């Protein structure tokens, strides 16, 4: 009996530690070679990127590619952004404790998890049923108690929880949805790729200071399109 218990404990231990070790080094390499070397400086962002197990946010068959410098397919025709873009958008959002974030386009839940490592609460909206269900389950399994996922059209934001310090849209829109601008908190930031679907888009940041909105062009990106719910 004692022997069996010992073997059981040993196997549980080795499984968790093997999993951790298997990707920890690769993950830290990803942070050093793809993020730090390209100018990501925000400590909280770098810590979150070192911590969140990206390989558990992609389909199992491609887990080994999770830390490569590339976007990856996550099913339902959608993609998880390249690590650098996730880190860049996170840094631009100026995340901090006590902040409240809204994400439009939960996808795999990876960007939500990165934000959740830093901010108080992340509200995330996903329009595709299967992805809303799977990302919510994944985030729960990984222990992210401060992310709330809802299935729906994020064009309208999430008025019940507004205003938000951070609004991050991870799908490309033709123009910035007015409801999202309306849901920015004082001192808040909205980050969104704007442009035509399936082309290069302009990542834009809006800031709201003393009630005034200013716009800044960031980098060029390529995101899947922000789709609209036909009921709206």
Q: Minimal distance in Å, beta carbon 42 to ligand SAH?
A: 18
Burial of residue 27, with CB atoms counted within 10 A of its CB: 0-12 exposed, 13-18 middle, 19 or more buried: buried
- Within residues 10-29, the interface with ligand SAH by CB under 6 A covers none
Q: Does 108 bind ligand SAH (CB under 6 A)?
A: yes
149-165: burial string, b at 16+ Cβ within 10 Å, e else: bebebbbbbbeeebbbb
Cα–Cα distances (Å) from 68 to 4, 63, 71, 81, 109, in that order, read: 40, 10, 8, 11, 18
Which position among 93, 136, 191, 224 is part of the footprint of ligand SAH (CB under 6 A)?
A: 224
For ligand SAH, which is the closer residue by CB, 207 or 222? 222
Answer yes or no: are the C-beta atoms of 87 and 46 closer than 8 Å.
yes
Options 37-45, 90-98, 151-159, 185-193: segment touching ligand SAH (CB under 6 A): 151-159
Q: Three-state DSSP class for 53?
A: coil
81 catalytic residue (yes or no) = yes
For residue 115 the two structure tokens come to: 């934000």
- Within residues 178-207, the interface with ligand SAH by CB under 6 A covers none
Q: Does 117 bind ligand SAH (CB under 6 A)?
A: no
Q: Does 227 bind ligand SAH (CB under 6 A)?
A: yes
Q: Does 153 bind ligand SAH (CB under 6 A)?
A: yes
Q: Does 107 bind ligand SAH (CB under 6 A)?
A: yes
Cα–Cα distances (Å) from 33 to 27, 38, 42, 52, 100, in that order, read: 10, 8, 15, 17, 30
Cα–Cα distances (Å) from 62 to 67, 75, 134, in that order, read: 10, 12, 17
176-196: burial string, b at 16+ Cβ within 10 Å, e else: bbeebbebbeeebbbbbbbbe
- Within residues 58-77, the interface with ligand SAH by CB under 6 A covers 74
From the list 14, 81, 108, 135, the catalytic residue is: 81
CA atoms of 200 and 197, how far apart (whole Å): 8
Options 5-13, 26-34, 46-54, 108-116: segment touching ligand SAH (CB under 6 A): 108-116
Q: Does 155 bind ligand SAH (CB under 6 A)?
A: yes
Which position among 154, 188, 193, 195 is part of the footprint of ligand SAH (CB under 6 A)?
A: 154
Report the catalytic residues. 81
Residues binding ligand SAH (CB under 6 A): 74, 78-80, 104-105, 107-108, 110-111, 125-128, 131, 153-155, 170-171, 224, 226-228
């Amino acid at each position: 009996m004692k022997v069996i218990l010992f073997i059981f404990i040993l196997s549980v231990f080795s499984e968790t530690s093997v999993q951790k070790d298997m990707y920890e080094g690769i993950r830290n390499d990803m942070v050093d070679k793809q993020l730090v070397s390209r100018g990501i400086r925000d400590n909280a962002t770098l810590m979150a990127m070192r911590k969140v197990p990206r390989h558990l946010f992609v389909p199992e068959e491609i887990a080994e590619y999770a830390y490569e410098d590339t976007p990856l397919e996550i099913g339902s025709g959608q993609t998880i952004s390249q690590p650098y873009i996730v880190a860049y958008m996170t840094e631009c959002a100026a995340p901090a404790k006590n902040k409240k974030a809204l994400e439009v386009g939960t996808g795999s839940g990876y960007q939500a998890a990165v934000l959740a490592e830093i901010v108080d609460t992340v509200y995330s909206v996903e329009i595709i049923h299967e992805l809303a269900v799977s990302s919510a389950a994944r985030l729960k399994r990984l222990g992210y108690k401060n992310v709330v996922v809802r299935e729906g059209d994020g064009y309208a934001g999430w008025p019940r929880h507004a205003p938000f310090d951070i609004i991050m849209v991870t799908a490309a829109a033709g123009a910035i949805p007015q409801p999202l601008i309306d849901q920015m908190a004082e001192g808040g930031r909205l980050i969104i790729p704007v442009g035509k679907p399936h082309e290069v888009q302009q990542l834009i940041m809006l800031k709201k200071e003393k009630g005034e909105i200013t716009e800044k062009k960031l980098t060029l990106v390529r995101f899947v399109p922000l789709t609209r719910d036909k009921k709206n």
